[in-house]
Amino acid sequence: MNPVATLGATGRGLAGALGALGRFVGFTGQALGWMLRPPFHLREVAAQLVQIGWLSLPVVGMTALFTGAALALQIFAGSARYGAEFAVPSITAIGMVRELGPVLGGLMVAARVASSIAAEIGTMKVSEQLDALKTLAVEPMQFLTVPRLVAATLAMPVLVAVGDSIGILGGYAVGVTRLGFDGPTYLRNTLDFLEFWDIASGLVKGAVFGFLVALSGCYFGMNSGRGAQGVGEATKSAVVLASVLILASNYLLTEAFFSA
Partner 1 sequence: MIRAEGLHKAFGQKTVLRGVSFEVPKGQSLVVIGGSGTGKSVLLKCLLGLERADSGEVALAGLKNPTPHAVAPHIGMLFQGAALFDSLPVWQNVAFRLMRGTGRMGRVEARALAVEKLARVGLGPEVADLFPAELSGGMQKRVGLARAIAGDPPVLFFDEPTAGLDPIMSAVINALIRGIVTEMGATALTITHDMRTVRDVADRVAMLHEGRFHWQGPTAEAFSSDDPVLRQFTEGRTEGPIPTLR
Chain residues binding partner 1 by CB under 8 A are 39, 47, 124, 127-129, 131-132, 134-139
Alpha carbons 235 and 230: distance in angstroms, whole number: 9
Q: Report, in Å, the least distance between residue 46 CB and partner 1.
A: 13
CB of 50 to partner 1, least distance (A): 12
How far is Cα 62 from Cα 224, in angstroms, rounded to an integer? 32
Residue type, position 191, single letter: L
Rounded to a whole number of angstroms, the minimum distance from the CB of residue 90 to partner 1 is 46
Closest separation in Å from C-beta 21 to partner 1:
23
Q: Quote the CA–CA distance of 183 and 39 in Å, as a whole number.
A: 52
The dihedral region occupied by 83, where left means phi > 0, alpha psi between -120 and 50, and beta the remainder, is left
Name residue 12's amino acid: R
For partner 1, the closer CB: 36 or 137: 137
Least separation, in Å, of the C-beta of 143 and partner 1? 9
Cα–Cα distance between 68 and 90 in angstroms, integer? Answer: 12
Instruction: Say how many Å lie between the first and final Cα of the chain, rounded.
Output: 48
Sign, CA dihedral 226-232-237-239, equals positive
User: Smaller CB distance to partner 1: residue 132 or 228?
Assistant: 132
Q: Which is nearer to partner 1, 112 or 205 (CB)?
A: 112
CA 1 from chain centre, in angstroms, equals: 42
Give the residue with the Cβ less far from partner 1, 47 or 204.
Answer: 47
Closer by beta carbon to partner 1, 72 or else 130: 130
